[in-house]
Structure formats: C-alpha cells, structure tokens
Amino acid sequence: MAAEIQPKPLTRKPILLQRVEGSQEVVNMAVIVPKEEGVISVSEDRTVRVWLKRDSGQYWPSIYHMMPSPCSCMSFNPETRRLSIGLDNGTISEFLLSEDYNKMTPVKNYQAHQSRVTMILFVLELEWVLSTGQDKQFAWHCSESGQRLGGYRTSAVASGLQFDVETRHVFIGDHSGQVTILKLEQENCTLVTTFRGHTGGVTALCWDPVQRVLFSGSSDHSVIMWDIGGRKGTAIELQGHSDRVQALSYAQHTRQLISCGGDGGIVVWNMDVERQETPEWLDSDSCQKCDQPFFWNFKQMWDSKKIGLRQHHCRKCGKAVCGKCSSKRSSIPLMGFEFEVRVCDSCHEAITDEERAPTATFHDSKHNIVHVHFDATRGWLLTSGTDKVIKLWDMTPVVS
C-alpha cells in the first residue's frame, strides 16, 4: 500500500514584491506613496527621488532632485503632498509635490538646527513641524509662517520622535537610553517626565494613540512597550533581535508590532495577548535555591569551607541562582523572550507547553535595515538598508 503523502503546512512569510535600486549611498528614509505605485526616498548621496512603477514593472525616478547637503530624514503628508526633508547641515527644506508626482516645488526652508537633523514630524492638525538634531535640540516651528515656536535641550542626541495630537505630548528617545515626555503649547513646553529602561541608546519610537502605548527600540537589541495610558508604570520587554533594533512600525487594526534591525530581521509581534512584565532581578549573597555562597561572599565561603559560585538570574522569577540550579533554558514568549533564556529548575518545570507557544514570527530581509514604513491599507512594508537598496514586501500573509 502506498504511503499517504501529507501536504506541508504553508509558511506564512512576507512576499518580496520589488527591489528599488539606484542610490549611490545609504537610503536614510523612504515612504510608500498611498494610493500610488510609488516610493519617495532621501539618501546620504544628497538626492530626493520619487520612484514610480512603470509599465515594465520596474520603479524609475519621476523626480531626481539634488540637495545642498546629505539628506538625513524626511516627513511626508499624503493629504497635502507636503514633503519636509532634514539635511546634514541642520536645515529643513519643505517642498510641495504635484498630483502626478512628477514635480516638486520648493516652499520654504527652516534653519532648525546647528547640525544634522535626526528626525522630523509634520503635524497637519496644528500646522507644526517637529524636529530633533545632533545639536541635542528638540524644536518646533509653525509650518505656515516658518517661525520657530520653541525648543528643548535633550540630554543626548535624539534618534526617536513621536507625537500625540490629542494631548499634545511629544516623546523623545535619545542615545543615552532615556525617553523624555514634553507637553507642548503654542510657544512653550513643559517637562512631564523622563524614564529609562534600556541599557543602550534608544534608536526608534512608535506610538499607538488608541491603546496609548509607546514602543521603544534600542541598540541593546530589545524593544520595550510602555503603558502610558494605563498609568500603572507597566513596561513589557520584547527580546527577538540579535543586533540593534533600528526601526519600528505598528499595525493598529491587528495590534501587531513590526520591529526591524541590524540583523536583517523583520519580527512581527502579536500585541493582542496578555503579556507579563519581566521581574526585577533580586540581590543576594548566596544562591536563593541551594544557599551556596557567591564568589564575593567571603564570610560564608570561609564558614562553610565552600568555593564561591558565579551568580545568575532566573528570567522568570528574578531570583539570584547558581549555575547548577539554573541549568535549564526555556522560551517565555508572554514575557517577551522568544529565544530560550536561563531559568531556574523549578520555574522550568512549571512552564507549560502552552506558555512556550510563540507570540512573534521571524523573517529575514537579507539586508541591514535602517528604516521601515508600513502601509496598512495595502499591507505593504518598505525596508531600506545600508546596502543602498529599498525593498517592498507584501505583509498580508503575516499581518492579518
């Protein structure tokens, strides 16, 4: 009797739609043009390009514009077709794109910063342009008059910027690992609070105005979800990258977070699950399981005539344990540990197979990602990398 052939389960993964090539240097930022088969990109090679899909199926520039300085960042508003470009010399240049995306008209320049502009946000509802720079300044300007409305000096160079229109709170993440929250008025700002959870610099921020949750990515390879609206101080850690997290995007309709990094990974996190905070690591001079002294506990070593052991921590309960009492490894997805981490033996026995079920999917983009843009209406993801290539992905098999 012939063996019955079982069909292999279909792997849900992103589908590469297009590679857009032609930039001479790193593409620092790019966006998908809504309702069009097009992409806008700014590059270190000083170019602003609008790529439109031709009959051949390839993307070719309909606009190729040279700027006086390398283009570090951008903000595009589809409703007004207003394009704001941050430059390496500290200037923000504003343009208006034509309806057919074949022409860009200069509008105004803002002398916003003393050095490289790191992030820009255009807020249509308030007619504000928010920006951060390597001069450690956050600034906001009136987009109608071009007048500077105010500024705030950050503790380090900022590399993450988000804004909540309803409350007028701005979130600034910097290289020291700190996130600063400011309340903006028309011509002044108030420091609300600062908080820190990363061991490395903050590299990206993403804001969900519905759930009132802030996501921060870091050079420490982690993502933290901060519950701003709940006011309970909850911070959930997500560990899924082997290199610095470079970019974040959020799909509100499915409550999925997309994180991308220097490892080339595209990680899609299901945030529609009840996640658990990672415990604080407990301090102890001896193993909290077997009471063996750690190597700095000279008194107990002398009294018990035992050699001191190295201290570890269980990632599930936070207890200080020795290597013998934490010889097992386990993933703990609801705590954000999608990879196996050290746990004490008793916690390892208590973790069920259901608790080990993954809450994220992992995909290889095959380039070091520096920026992403997600078009929720089509389910497309744009990634730009250090390889000077822009890739367009169909994420509907994954984000749905």
Q: What is the pLDDT of residues 304-342, one digit of tens each?
A: 777 667 788 898 998 999 989 998 899 888 888 888 889
Same domain, 232 and 322: no
Listed in sequence order, the residues at least 6 apart from 229 whose beta carbon sits closer than 8 Å to its beta carbon are 211, 212, 213
Same domain, 227 and 309: no
Same domain, 254 and 320: no
Task: Count the domains in the chain.
Answer: 2
Q: Is residue 289 part of a domain?
A: no
Same domain, 245 and 316: no
Average pLDDT of the residues in 127-156: 95
What's the CATH number where 54 sits?
2.130.10.10
Q: Is residue 400 part of a domain?
A: no
Q: Is residue 148 part of a domain?
A: yes
pLDDT of residue 303: 73
Same domain, 25 and 68: yes
Q: Is residue 3 part of a domain?
A: no
Same domain, 90 and 154: yes
pLDDT of residue 2: 40
Q: Is residue 260 part of a domain?
A: yes
Coil/strand/helix, residue 36: coil
Same domain, 388 and 302: no
**Which residue range(s) make up the domain with 329?**
298-356
Same domain, 185 and 101: yes
What's the CATH number where 310 sits?
3.30.40.10
Query: d(Cα 131, Cα 161) in Å, to the nearest integer?
Result: 8
Candidate ranges 4-8, 185-189, 372-376; pick with highest mean pLDDT: 372-376
Report the candidate in 272, 275, 313 with the shortest Cα–Cα distance to residue 294: 313
- What percent of the chain is predicted at pLDDT more than 70? 94
Same domain, 207 and 233: yes
Comparing 228 with 32, which gets the higher pLDDT? Answer: 32
Same domain, 333 and 377: no
Question: pLDDT tens-digit profile of 221-233?
Answer: 999 999 887 666 6
Question: pLDDT tens-digit profile of 340-355?
Answer: 889 999 999 988 888 8
Query: d(Cα 392, Cα 381) in Å, to the nearest integer?
Result: 6
Average pLDDT of the residues in 256-263: 94
Same domain, 248 and 330: no
Please report which helix (H) or strand (E) contains residue 267, including its range.
strand 265-270
Q: Is residue 255 part of a domain?
A: yes
Q: Is residue 387 part of a domain?
A: yes
Which residues are paired to 75 by β-bridges?
84
pLDDT of residue 274: 85
> pLDDT at residue 298 above 90?
no
Average pLDDT of the residues in 195-208: 94
Same domain, 97 and 150: yes
